[in-house]
Amino acid sequence: MTTSDLHVRGRSVVPGPRAGTTPTPTTQRSATTTRTKKGGGGVPVAGLSVFDPIYLGIDENGDPVYLDFVYYNLLTGGEPGAGKSGLVQNIIAHCALSTDVRLVLMDAKRVELGMWAHIADVYVGPDLDTAIAVLEWLTEEMHRRTDALVAHRLRKMVKANELDVICLVVDELAYFTASIADVKTRETLLKLLRDLVAFGRAVGICSVLATQRPSGVDVIPTTIRDIISHRCAFRCMTAASSDMILGSDWVEKGYNAQDIPEDHPGIAWLLAGKGAPRRIRCAYLSDEEIDYLAEYAAHIRGVPGWTAQAGEAGGLR
């Protein structure tokens, strides 16, 4: 394990400033949080909330598309260049600017999510042993939070509990699920991921799983796919791959991601909530915009090392 493969902030099992807190009824968090910068006093900064709907883009009628994220998991996939990373970046950007969410990023290619590494509580590169260790770490936290809910006679964590939501993003799922030669290691990773997807939602641990290879049960095991309610299919090479993301029979009903034109990146079928998939175009964030947002997120989160000079260099005032 190297520092390039694992980036961790915080000292507790729970990443974030409120590590060790338990979900108890309390007053609702304000949308404005006071952070203290080095060399200065508390500075009020506006922050989003992960409980706010996440803006993804527009639909066929030009209407805005929002995604309710807390209490859900999301599976997305499509061929390279189809726009999958745009969807993932929009979700991470919203979470990064939310003062009530911690980011745990697993990035097999190290470039898709790397621009957010310095604000993530945990950042994992293409290291399977470290990935398993992080999933074990999250599983322990899931059990701790579950015990707290039971102790306080609650069924799920809510915003008023003021306990940070944890957003787990796994980019290029195939690397972590299908490239492991050792069967025991692969089964260990898949079981940990499946348990987090199945039981983490109620305690504020939500997952985003993304892949460029939405084909074969080795990449997206049925035991994981079937318990994810939010799906987003970008252009796929085959109809079977489209159904692998959206679920069986949607192709027969006319919702086939294979039919999305190759020269229309960012177009996808989004299945979220009740009803049929919705055709959307995801908003696109350029590298410059991501860099700006990441610097602003570092500011409002009070990330060590952030300075006013660095923020001004990034265009922040």
- Return d(Cα 100, Cα 242) in angstroms, integer: 34
Give the least confident one: 15-19, 102-106, 171-175. Answer: 15-19
Helix, coil or strand: residue 305: coil
Alpha helices in 160-225 (DSSP H): 173-178, 183-199, 222-225
Q: Is the pLDDT of residue 305 over 90?
A: no
Q: How many CB atoms lie within 10 A of CB 287?
A: 9
Specify the pLDDT at position 175: 83
Q: Which domains does the chain have, with CATH numbers?
A: 54-285 (3.40.50.300)
Give the least confident one: 14-23, 163-172, 218-227, 269-278. Answer: 14-23
- Return d(Cα 43, Cα 32) in angstroms, integer: 10
Summarize the confidence of residues 197-209 as an average pLDDT: 95
Alpha helices in the chain (DSSP H): 84-96, 128-151, 173-178, 183-199, 222-225, 239-246, 287-301, 308-313
Phi first, then psi: what are they for 199, rounded to 5°? -115, -10
Specify the pLDDT at position 184: 85
- Return d(Cα 74, Cα 91) in angstroms, integer: 10
Please give the torsion angle defined by the CA atoms of residues 37, 91, 145 and 18, in that order, rounded to the nearest 10 degrees.
0
Q: Is the pLDDT of residue 33 over 90?
A: no
Task: Give the model confidence (pLDDT) of 56-98 as tens digits.
Answer: 999 999 999 999 999 999 999 999 999 999 999 999 999 999 9
User: pLDDT category, 217, cuts 50, 70, 90?
Assistant: low
Q: Is the pLDDT of residue 39 over 80?
A: no
Q: Which of 260, 254, 273, 208 is nearest to 78 (CA)?
A: 260
User: pLDDT category, 232, cuts 50, 70, 90?
Assistant: very high
Specify the pLDDT at position 183: 79
- Return d(Cα 48, Cα 54) in angstroms, integer: 10
